[in-house]
Amino acid sequence: MKVSGYNLMQAMRFAVEEINNDSSLLPDVLLGYEMVDVCYISNNVQPVLYFLAQEDSLLPIQEDYSNYVPRVVAVIGPENSESVMTVANFLSLFLLPQITYSAISDQLRDKQRFPALLRTAPSAKHHIEAMVQLMLHFHWNWISVLVSSDTYGRDNGQLLGDRLVGSDICIAFQETLPTLQPNQDIMPEDRQRLVSIVEKLQHSTARVVVVFSPDLTLYDFFREVLRQNFTGAVWIASESWSIDPVLHNLMGLHRTGTFLGITIQNVPIPGFSEFRVRGPQAEPTNQRSTCNQECDTCLNSTLSFNSILRLSGERIVYSVYSAVYAVAHALHSLLGCDHSACTKRVVYPWQLLEEIWKVNFTLLDHQISFDPQGDVALHLEIVQWQWDLNQNLFQSVASYSPLQGHLKDIQDISWHTVNNTIPVSMCSKRCQSGQKKKPMGIHTCCFECIDCLPGTFLNQTANEYDCQACPSNEWSHQSETSCFKRRLSFLEWHEAATIAVALLAALGFLSTLAILVIFWRHFQTPMVRSAGGPMCFLMLTLLLVAYMVVPVYVGLPKVSTCLCRQALFPVCFTICISCIAVRSFQIVCVFKMASRFPRAYSYWVRYQGSYVSVAFITALKMITVVISLLATGLNPTTRTDTDDPKIMIISCNPNYRNSLLFNTSLDLLLSVVGFSFAYMGKELPTNYNEAKFITFSMTFYFTSSVSLCTFMSVYDGVLVTIVDLLVTVFNLLAISLGYFGPKCYMILFYPERNTPAYFNSMIQGYTMRRD
């Protein structure tokens, strides 16, 4: 005996009687009704043919039914989607209005198939969306789905599966429950099927079970759940059984877990609770018994369940109530009723259908109107089953608005768990921040969490299955969701090493400037002329320029500073080295080669061989510098510090060591040449014997350059820059003080040796020794 069915029948009777007693709605018109039991789904065709027939129980075959008047002008029901489709296929041919109060299948939204069908309940799409948002709210992403084998179960199971595609929720498995008919005992194979389904639930890690099935199928299923003592689950009920009082009354059901259901919002109907348990006042003489429903037995069952029905609220009852009122308001409009009377006329079903589509009225503070798909946008509620008879057995814990499309007003839920903790139903725990997902198996909800490596980050909105590399100028620690700017590393003024080198460079600049002044004041003396004469001023000027270039090594590299470091300084330094090399060759040429190759020596003197040689070497150096610049460019480049990836080294040359070897190769060759010629002149007069000074300068330059290249092959970063700058300053000091320093010392402290007579005596002594 289905108590809820009798409860809905009483809701329809209550609505009709209330309308008949209302003088403002359909005045002077009484509504009548006939009710039949469709016996779940087995008795659909006979009642619909009965309703379509005329008073003589005949259904004539006509070409045009526009003027046909059937037994009834509208049909309320049936309850489930499969029965509704069967009935709607008949009623739509006659455009006879049909309003269902609980069938939610999305197939019913097709107005090409069912033009006469409307609903006072939200469609399955909204029910499914409310379920999904509920699961997302509690982070349940690993669920089991049970569906009945009828159209209702198949359609809603498919709709849920389609909704979950691309979402964060996965279906561990889906099983089909055997569907029973009323008063039918379960078959042995169906019972074994239920046993295997419950066993599968027992072994699954999914703790959330979504069930799409009529209530009739679930009694045997939950008895098997209780027999196997399956507990700790969260059962999510579809609207077909979410507030079923008989299933709720099943002994021991509360031990199986937490029950949450999707149903229409509760709208209290004044006076209905008393009307529900009131027996019929007068029985029609032609009352018929359809299937096995006996009204007296239904009434007795309803009396026993009255407290449960009263506490559970008027939910589907309001859908029936509003469906009857929708028909009444349409009739009121069609009959042109005013406050006192209505026009007496024949009502054709298609005319009434047009008016029903137009209805828009307020019923118990809720707006009733049909959208283009024939649905009323009533709110849905999430209810939790309670077993305390002193409170609402189906307590509302959240609501869902079809118009807004989101869950709201979520309240605390009494979980059937230890310490009332929210049940966990996840194939894999959620990854921590900065962890990527590594899929495991076919389900996207089953994965392994792996930390993103340093230098990578996880952008969950783009791809949560792969860590993305940071941009070249950024870095990240392990397990990060974003990158941070790398710290640029370059030689800065506040560092102690920079200050020390700057002081040395300033000392070299001042000493070189002093030497220039001394040489300028003693330009006509033999000491200055023996040192190179005018060529000395070229060297000293270039040395001053080289000292002035030292500051460009400090600070953030730019195109201008890189040009000075890679072009201006190498050219200046090479000219100085070439002057020393040419000068050492010229001294040897005067004393040792002039007598042997007088003609060659005369050409050397006549055509200014020393300046030509320096110019040639300078041109050759400029060619190498241009080649180096074309190969490497002038724009500063950055590279990661191998010792600390959070640091970016910014420099003028991406391959500084190879570039240094290329740029200094000519200078190294000149230093070897200068050293060789100086060594050949070690027996020259003391005033012209510069072997030890040139040897010191050239040997120091050669050794320091090789050491710098070796150091750069081991170390990297700012340390290389400071060592390179220090070696550069030392090389400049070696030329300034090592080559010119002794001559200044002789000019200042031994002026008697800086005379033509003294130089002539030294030359005569050298000549006499050779003879």
- Amino acid 42: pLDDT: 66
Whether 94 and 226 map to the same domain: the answer is no
Q: Which tokens go with 389?
A: 């008879």
The helix/strand/coil state of 327 is helix
Which residues lie closer than 8 Å to 569 by C-beta, 6 or more apart? 546, 549, 728
Whether 143 and 224 map to the same domain: the answer is yes
Q: Is residue 417 part of a domain?
A: no
CATH code at position 394: 3.40.50.2300
**Alpha-carbon distance 242 to 248, whole Å?**
9
Provide the pLDDT confidence category of residue 571 given band limits of 50, 70 and 90: confident
Which residues lie closer than 8 Å to 646 by C-beta, 6 or more apart? 475, 486, 487
User: What one-letter code names the amino acid at 359?
Assistant: V
The answer to whether residue 414 scores a pLDDT higher than 50 is yes
Q: Is residue 57 part of a domain?
A: yes
Q: How far is CA 666 from CA 562, 563, 657, 661, in A?
A: 20, 19, 15, 9
Q: Is residue 423 part of a domain?
A: no
The total number of structural domains that make up the chain? 4
- Amino acid 2: pLDDT: 65
CA 650 from centre of chain: 32
Ordered DSSP codes for 353-402: HHHHHH-EEEETTEEEE--TTSB----EEEEEE---TTS-SEEEEEEEET
Q: For the packed helices 741-749 and 718-738, what is the interaxial angle rounded to 10 degrees?
A: 40
Whether 694 and 758 map to the same domain: the answer is yes
Which one has a higher pLDDT value, 386 or 489?
A: 386
**Alpha-carbon distance 289 to 469, whole Å?**
76
**Alpha-carbon distance 522 to 518, whole Å?**
6
Q: What is the pLDDT of residues 48-98, one digit of tens each?
A: 898 999 877 888 888 888 889 899 999 998 888 888 999 999 999 999 999
Whether 108 and 129 map to the same domain: the answer is no
Last residue of a domain, one of 455, 485, 515: 485
The answer to whether the CB of 199 falls within 8 A of the CB of 225 is no
Whether 323 and 183 map to the same domain: the answer is no
Whether 343 and 392 map to the same domain: the answer is no
| Count of CB atoms situated within 10 Å of the CB of 83 | 25
* Residue whose entry in the numeric block shows the structure tokens 């200050």: 499
Whether 117 and 128 map to the same domain: the answer is no
Whether 343 and 389 map to the same domain: the answer is no
**Alpha-carbon distance 700 to 692, whole Å?**
12
622-635 mean pLDDT:
79
Cα torsion 487, 490, 494, 497 to 10°: value is 130
- Amino acid 284: pLDDT: 42
The answer to whether residue 664 scores a pLDDT higher than 80 is no
- Which structural domain, as residue segments, surrounds residue 91? 3-121+269-277+298-377
Whether 326 and 250 map to the same domain: the answer is no
The answer to whether residue 286 scores a pLDDT higher than 50 is no
629-668: b or e for each residue (b if 16 or more CB lie within 10 Å)?
beebebebbbebbeeeebbbbbbbbeebbebbbbbbebbb
Last residue of a domain, one of 485, 515, 547: 485
| Count of CB atoms situated within 10 Å of the CB of 382 | 26
Whether 399 and 518 map to the same domain: the answer is no
Strand 447-451 versus strand 456-457 pairing type: unpaired
Q: Which tokens go with 70?
A: 């059937």
The answer to whether residue 471 scores a pLDDT higher than 60 is yes
The answer to whether residue 572 scores a pLDDT higher than 90 is no
Q: Is residue 453 part of a domain?
A: yes
629-642 mean pLDDT:
75
Name the pTM for this structure: 0.63
The answer to whether residue 293 scores a pLDDT higher than 60 is no
Q: Is residue 288 part of a domain?
A: no
Q: Which of 157, 131, 2 is nearest to 79 (CA)?
A: 2
Residues in the chain: 771
Whether 226 and 367 map to the same domain: the answer is no
Whether 509 and 446 map to the same domain: the answer is no
Q: What is the pLDDT of residues 530-557, one digit of tens each?
A: 776 788 888 888 888 888 888 888 888 8
Q: Which of 144, 105, 149, 96 is nearest to 126 (CA)?
A: 105
Q: Which of 267, 255, 215 is nearest to 239 (CA)?
A: 215
Q: Is residue 148 part of a domain?
A: yes
Q: Which of 424, 407, 427, 426 is nearest to 415 (CA)?
A: 424
Which one has a higher pLDDT value, 410 or 633?
A: 410
Q: Is residue 420 part of a domain?
A: no
- Amino acid 706: pLDDT: 75
Q: Which tokens go with 655?
A: 């391959």
Q: Is residue 292 part of a domain?
A: no
Please provide the distance, in angstroms rounded to a whole number, between the alpha carbons at the two ends of the chain.
Answer: 146
